[in-house]
């Protein structure tokens, strides 16, 4: 970077870099063409000569290995090409002029979305935003500064810092700034129209966010962040940073995110590819539980069924049952039941097989002593395997499959009950609670309140598979996970975690602070970070939302916009007309807008009524999988984590137990305009 030492003109450097990028891309295209020809030649050679290759296959093996190596090399070049193509749009966004301690002249470090050097192995012209030296841009103003490099801490002084906006390879602006991210630039970035995807934030990472992103010390990092604080973006950028710095041990396939639904998963799916990483897997924990219980019941109720029922038919007793079955108290009672189940679920008896005898007393000894650490419903299998090993050793021959099945039936008969559903009902009897309906497998549908209690019981009785391939787990919407769910997660994933959420956005009737019990479950290796500054909404919207939630310590970015409009309508027709008139999407308007309701039925009726009036809209329900531009009609619980330029909130009845949470969640979805609507009728009547 010495050649740029005295160059303060980013436009000149931009032109130079774009030229070198074009050269690299041309070279890669040439290499790819040659690599593809090499692969074709290998295929041609193989088909012409495979009948004459040596009988041991050494030549064939060498040919296949060479083919694999060339294919892998081509894949790496395609990834590099994709990265450089993305960089052509905006090669860099920042620059730091830094004088190393003991030196007299400063060096210029340009910072972008990825590393770029004229040739592999040469000093970068542009440094990846995750590189150690890039921390200077995010963490320091002019003056003394340092960064932690592989060789140790590097100290010196920042002489100047520049910020750039480049689009389509053209310089939009460039200015020297004392601060990391100038407030006006931050407001401009955050004030732009909502995209159909979550924005990456590498140009606007704040110091407190950067500290979280670059945290490699803490095994479990918990982020408690207000709505709009950027916690999801920060968590994803943290994963990108960890992948960049630990490539030997951590790959994208080793990371899993627990997301609330498929629409949210689609909304965030581009972030890691934009940051130069492969996408990571995501799943719904509810869907995972349903699959795990497929051998127990034909169907399971989902969280959304439970929420809809809670809102439409409030039942304090049902809510008390739900809370208890997810609690630490339930887990303790389940352990008490399991301690007694070892006797009540077993009826020991002698085993005789082809002249070999295993007495009841010997079985009891093996069951309670030798295999005590094996889960209860798997323990008799261990006893059976012990018996089979003894038989085969004495007889000097293996048992065939037919005899193994016979023995399996003999040992299984010692269990009084192996059906998890039925054993769960015994647990309910033990706890003095109502049983589930006694019906055959094909008619069983597990209520949501019983899904995770039953899964916990199943794992305690049969054991669980620890997902050792997952080395980092991201849990979003942490406030919506119960004590019991975290207990299950701790058993399944014994890895590093990033856990994030906002307790004010709970889907329960009352806020629950999971930070009180997480250390008890995961141990003391937890670092908690509080993010209280809201970046998403205008000052007016954020202040309005904070009054709903009662949050007093929220810091608001001074980005102003329209006042929030609260309007009551005497008829539904007036409200629909207001939505149509105020909606501002399209080529000259906003990218995204949303009509957000309380219930699924209200959302669908409003969607239909708007479409009948010529309003183009998308309807998002629990089965949807894509986040689209334009107008979306959905419920507050499916809108969580998403953001829209315009939001129209259709307020439900005040006696709805989730009305306050719904109002807060819905209001905080709005980037620029928020309308809080209600009619004299609390229900959407529809057109008959």
| CB-CB contact of 100 with 94 (8 Å) | no
Per DSSP bridges, beta strands 472-475 and 496-501 are parallel
Residues 6 or more apart whose Cβ sits within 8 Å of residue 93? 111, 112, 113, 163, 164, 165, 166, 202, 203
Provide the 3-class DSSP secondary structure of residue 358: strand
- Residue 687 has a pLDDT of 39
Are 495 and 525 a contacting pair, CB within 8 Å?
A: no
**pLDDT tens digits along 424-458:** 999 999 999 999 999 999 999 999 999 999 999 99
Q: Which helix (H) or strand (E) element contains residue 31?
A: helix 10-49
Q: Is 336 left (phi over 0), alpha (psi -120 to 50) or beta?
A: alpha
Q: Are 372 and 380 in contact (CB under 8 A)?
A: no
Q: What's the length of the chain? A: 688
Mean pLDDT across the stretch 10-29?
A: 94
Cβ atoms < 10 Å from Cβ of 406: 13
Burial (Cβ within 10 Å: 0-12, 13-18, ≥19) of residue 139:
middle
Q: How far is CA 453 from CA 63, 95, 320, 324, 443, in A?
A: 54, 54, 15, 10, 20
Confidence tier at 655 by pLDDT (50, 70, 90): confident
In Å, what is the CA distance from 80 to each residue of 26, 512, 526, 650? 12, 46, 37, 48
Q: DSSP 3-state assignment of 246?
A: coil
H-helix or E-strand spanning residue 148: strand 143-149
Whole-number Cα distances in Å, 526 to 281, 477, 483, 497, 558: 24, 17, 16, 9, 33
3-state secondary structure of 453: helix
Does 51 have pLDDT greater than 50? Answer: yes
- Asked if the model's pLDDT at residue 613 lies above 60, the reply is yes
CB 349 within 8 A of CB 414: yes
Give the Cα separation of 253 and 486 in Å (integer): 22
- Give the pLDDT score at 196: 52
Strands 255-258 and 472-475: parallel
Span of 8-17, 41-50, 471-480 with lowest mean pLDDT: 41-50
pLDDT above 70 covers a percentage of the chain that reads 93
Q: What is the pLDDT of residue 652?
A: 76
Closest by Cα among 128, 108, 134 to 116:
128
- Residue-level pLDDT at 451: 98
The listed range with the strongest mean pLDDT (167-181, 430-444, 516-530) is 430-444
How do residues 343-363 score in pLDDT, each as one tens digit?
A: 899 999 999 999 999 999 999
pLDDT band for 47, please (50, 70, 90 cuts).
Answer: confident
pLDDT bucket at 263, cuts 50 / 70 / 90: confident
Q: How far apart are the C-alpha atoms of 133 and 223, rounded to whole Å?
A: 25
Alpha helices in 349-463 (DSSP H): 360-365, 376-395, 401-412, 420-431, 448-462
CA distances from 143 to 94, 128, 136, 206, 211 (A): 17, 23, 11, 18, 20
Computed over every residue of the chain, the mean pLDDT equals 89
Per-residue pLDDT, averaged over 292-297, amounts to 96
Report whether pLDDT(379) > 80.
Answer: yes
Tokens of 312: 């439409």
**Is the model's pLDDT at 524 over the cut of 90?**
no
CB-CB neighbours of 507 under 10 Å: 20
pLDDT band, very low/low/confident/very high, at 1 (cuts 50, 70, 90): very low
Nearest to 625, CA basis, from 260, 156, 116:
260
Residue environment code for 415-425, b if the CB has 16+ CB neighbours within 10 A, otherwise e? beeeebbebbb
Q: What stretch of H or E contains 672? A: strand 670-679
**Structure token pair of residue 37:** 């020809």
pLDDT at 554: 84
Residues 524-537 have a mean pLDDT of: 89
The 10s digit of each residue's pLDDT in 461-479 is 999 888 999 999 999 999 9
Closest CA to 640 of 663, 658, 673, 665: 665
Task: Specify the DSSP element, H or E, that contains 600.
Answer: helix 600-612
pLDDT confidence band for 510 (50 / 70 / 90): confident
């Amino acid at each position: 970077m010495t050649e740029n030492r005295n160059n303060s003109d980013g436009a000149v450097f931009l032109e130079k870099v774009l030229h070198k990028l074009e050269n690299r891309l041309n070279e890669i295209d040439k290499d790819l063409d040659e690599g593809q020809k090499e692969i074709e030649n290998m295929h041609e050679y193989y088909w012409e000569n495979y009948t004459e290759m040596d009988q041991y296959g050494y030549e064939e093996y060498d040919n296949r290995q060479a083919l694999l190596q060339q294919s892998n090399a081509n894949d790496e070049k395609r990834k590099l090409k994709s990265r450089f193509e993305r960089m052509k749009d905006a090669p860099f966004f920042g620059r730091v002029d830094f004088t190393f301690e003991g030196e007299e002249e400063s060096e210029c470090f340009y910072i972008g979305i990825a590393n770029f050097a004229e040739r592999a192995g040469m000093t970068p012209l542009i440094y990846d935003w995750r590189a150690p030296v890039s921390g200077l841009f995010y963490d320091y103003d002019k003056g003394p500064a340092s960064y932690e490099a592989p060789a140790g801490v590097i100290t010196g002084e920042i002489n100047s810092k520049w910020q750039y906006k480049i689009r389509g390879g053209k310089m939009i602006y460039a200015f020297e700034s004392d601060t990391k991210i100038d407030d006006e630039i931050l407001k401009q970035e955050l004030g732009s129209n909502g995209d159909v995807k979550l924005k990456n934030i590498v140009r606007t990472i704040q110091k407190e966010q950067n500290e979280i992103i670059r945290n490699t010390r803490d095994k479990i990092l918990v982020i408690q962040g207000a709505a709009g604080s950027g916690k999801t973006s920060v968590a994803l950028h943290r994963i990108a940073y960890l992948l960049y710095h630990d490539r030997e041990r951590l790959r994208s396939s080793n990371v899993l995110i627990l997301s609330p639904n498929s629409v949210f998963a689609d909304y965030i799916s581009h972030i890691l590819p934009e940051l130069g990483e492969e996408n990571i897997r995501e799943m719904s924990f509810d869907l995972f539980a349903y699959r795990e219980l497929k051998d127990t019941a034909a169907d399971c109720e989902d969280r959304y069924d439970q929420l809809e029922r809670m809102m439409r038919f409030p039942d304090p007793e049902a809510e008390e049952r739900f809370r208890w079955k997810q609690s630490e108290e339930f887990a303790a009672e389940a352990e008490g039941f399991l301690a007694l189940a070892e006797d009540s679920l077993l009826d020991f008896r002698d085993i005789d097989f082809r002249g070999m005898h295993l007495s009841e007393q010997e079985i009891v000894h093996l069951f309670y002593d030798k295999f005590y650490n094996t889960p209860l419903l798997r323990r008799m299998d261990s006893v059976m395997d012990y018996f089979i090993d003894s038989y085969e050793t004495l007889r000097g021959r293996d048992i065939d499959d037919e005899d193994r099945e016979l023995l399996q039936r003999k040992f299984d008969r010692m269990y009084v009950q192996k059906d998890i559903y039925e054993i769960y009902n015994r647990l309910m009897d033990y706890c003095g609670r109502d049983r589930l309906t006694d019906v055959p497998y094909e008619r069983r549908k597990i209520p949501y309140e019983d899904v995770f209690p039953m899964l916990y019981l199943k794992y305690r009785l049969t054991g669980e598979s620890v997902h050792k391939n997952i080395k980092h787990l991201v849990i979003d919407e942490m406030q919506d996970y119960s004590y019991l769910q975290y207990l299950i997660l701790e058993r399944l994933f014994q890895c590093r975690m990033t856990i994030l959420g906002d307790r004010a956005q709970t889907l329960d009737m009352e806020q629950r602070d999971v930070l009180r019990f997480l250390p008890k479950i995961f141990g003391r290796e937890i670092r908690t970070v509080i993010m209280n500054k809201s970046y998403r909404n205008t000052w007016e919207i954020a202040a309005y939302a904070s009054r709903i939630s009662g949050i007093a310590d929220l810091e608001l970015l001074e980005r102003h916009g329209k006042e929030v409009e609260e309007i009551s309508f005497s008829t539904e027709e007036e409200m629909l007309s207001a939505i149509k008139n105020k909606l501002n999407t399209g080529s000259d308007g906003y990218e995204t807008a949303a009509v957000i309701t309380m219930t699924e039925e209200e959302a669908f009726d409003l969607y239909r009524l708007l479409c009948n009036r010529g309003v183009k809209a998308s309807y998002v329900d629990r089965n949807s999988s894509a986040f689209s531009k334009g107008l979306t009609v959905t419920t507050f619980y499916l809108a969580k984590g998403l953001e829209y330029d315009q939001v129209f909130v259709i307020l439900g009845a005040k006696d709805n137990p989730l009305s306050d949470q719904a109002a807060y969640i819905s209001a905080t979805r709005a980037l620029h305009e928020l309308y809080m609507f209600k009619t004299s009728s609390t229900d959407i009547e529809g057109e008959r």
